[in-house]
Amino acid sequence: MRRRECIASVAAATLWAARPAAAAARTDRLQLGLTPVILADQIAFLSRWGRYLGTQVGVEVHFVARESYQSILDLLWSGQIDAAWICGYPYVRFEADLKLLAVPLYQGDPLYQAYLIRSSGAPDGLRGWGDLRDRVLAYSDPLSNSGWLVAQAQLAHAGVAPRELKRAFFAHGHRNVAEAVAARLAHAGSIDGYVWETMRLQGMPAVARTEVIWKSEPFGFPPLVTARRATHPRMERLQAALLGMADDPVGRELLGSLNLSGFSVGAASQFDSIRRQATQVPGSGVTG
CB atoms within 10 A of CB 83: 25
Least confident of 90-99, 118-127, 171-180: 118-127
First to last CA, the chain: 13
Please report, as a single letter, which amino acid is at residue 166.
K
* pLDDT(5) > 50: no
What is the Cα gyration radius of the chain? 19
Where in the chain are all domains bearing CATH 3.40.190.10? 3-110+221-279, 114-216
pLDDT tens-digit map of 132-154: 999 999 999 999 999 999 999 99
Identify the CA nearest to 258 among candidates 214, 215, 207, 199: 199
**Percent above pLDDT 90 for the chain:** 83
142 to 18, 26, 156, 228: CA distances (angstroms): 26, 31, 17, 23
CATH 3.40.190.10 at 3-110+221-279, yes or no:
yes
* pLDDT(93) > 60: yes
Mean pLDDT of the chain: 90
Identify the CA nearest to 243 among candidates 109, 107, 110, 102: 102
- What's the topology of domain 114-216? D-Maltodextrin-Binding Protein; domain 2 (3.40.190)
Identify the CA nearest to 277 among candidates 71, 114, 34, 131: 114
